[in-house]
């Protein structure tokens, strides 16, 4: 099962959601993202939020269209996105894709990126990624990971997010590495590219953010 979550980020940064609207997909709306989904002809099965970013008329439409709506007080310990992700992780999907999670307020952006750590920190076997119209972002723990070429997102960057990265090795890349130490704050691994259809990256210690981008 795949769970797609749409938050209330700027609409102009969204990819074509129809591309991700397939069978066996569960759609979840977060705050204004619920109304955006409805406008795009995708009715979410679940909705989360305090809904302080929609009008009373828009909230009425949401209540009419969505079967399972969980409305929270604006004064709470978690963001609306975190509440939706917590629920999604409990469903044990293979993948959670987050949309509308970039752009706008930087505190929301950094909070959403930080939420990508949840499956790793909780030892949950679910992959999670943020997708907008120019970037895909995900996080991996130590081990060997395969990566496939994407013609529309050919630039690949690796960013340490939890201490240094030990023995980073890149195979099949324009700029390969072998057992390289990458300290926190390094920009060594920004804007690499695959030279084959597939490549691998591996490391023995640390947590690594992978960012796939296009110009």
Instruction: Give, in order, the Cα–Cα distances in Å from 40 to each of 21, 79, 101.
Output: 11, 24, 17
DSSP code of 117? T
Q: Which helix (H) or strand (E) holds 34?
A: helix 32-39
Closest by alpha carbon to 176, among 150, 195, 198, 159? 195
Taking 70 as the pLDDT cut, the residues of the chain under it are none
Which residues have CB under 8 Å from 134's CB, separation 6+? 13, 153, 213, 214
What does the pLDDT look like over 68-119, one tens digit per residue?
988 888 778 889 999 999 999 999 999 999 999 999 889 999 999 999 999 9
- Predicted local distance difference test score (pLDDT) of residue 104: 85
Is the pTM above the cut of 0.85? yes
Q: Give the three-state DSSP class for 109.
A: helix
CB 45 within 8 A of CB 68: yes
Q: What tokens appear for 82 in the block?
A: 């975190």
Closest by alpha carbon to 49, among 163, 36, 39, 41? 36
Q: Give the three-state DSSP class for 9.
A: coil
DSSP code of 12? G
For 182, phi then psi, to 5°, come to: -115, 105
Q: Could you give all domains of the chain from N- to C-terminal order, each with its CATH number? A: 2-133 (3.40.50.10240), 137-213 (3.40.50.10240)
- Predicted local distance difference test score (pLDDT) of residue 72: 83
């Amino acid at each position: 099962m795949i769970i797609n979550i749409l938050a209330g980020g700027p609409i102009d940064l969204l990819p074509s959601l129809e591309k991700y609207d397939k069978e066996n997909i569960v759609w979840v709306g977060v705050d204004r993202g619920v109304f955006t989904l409805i406008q795009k002809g995708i009715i979410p099965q679940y909705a989360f939020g305090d809904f302080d970013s929609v009008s009373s008329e828009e909230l009425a439409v949401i209540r009419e269209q969505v079967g399972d709506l969980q409305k929270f007080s604006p004064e709470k310990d978690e963001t609306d996105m975190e509440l939706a992700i917590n629920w999604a992780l409990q469903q044990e999907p293979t993948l959670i894709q987050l949309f509308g999670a970039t752009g706008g307020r930087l505190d929301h952006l950094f909070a959403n990126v930080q939420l990508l750590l949840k499956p790793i920190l909780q030892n949950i076997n679910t992959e999670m990624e943020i997708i907008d119209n120019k970037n895909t972002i995900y996080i991996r723990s130590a081990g060997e990971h395969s990566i496939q070429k994407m013609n529309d997102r050919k630039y690949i960057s690796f960013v340490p997010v939890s201490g240094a990265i030990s023995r980073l090795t890149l195979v099949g890349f324009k700029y390969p590495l072998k057992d390289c130490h990458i300290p926190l704050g390094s920009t060594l691994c920004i804007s690499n590219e695959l030279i084959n259809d597939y490549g691998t990256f591996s490391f023995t210690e640390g947590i690594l953010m992978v960012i796939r981008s296009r110009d």
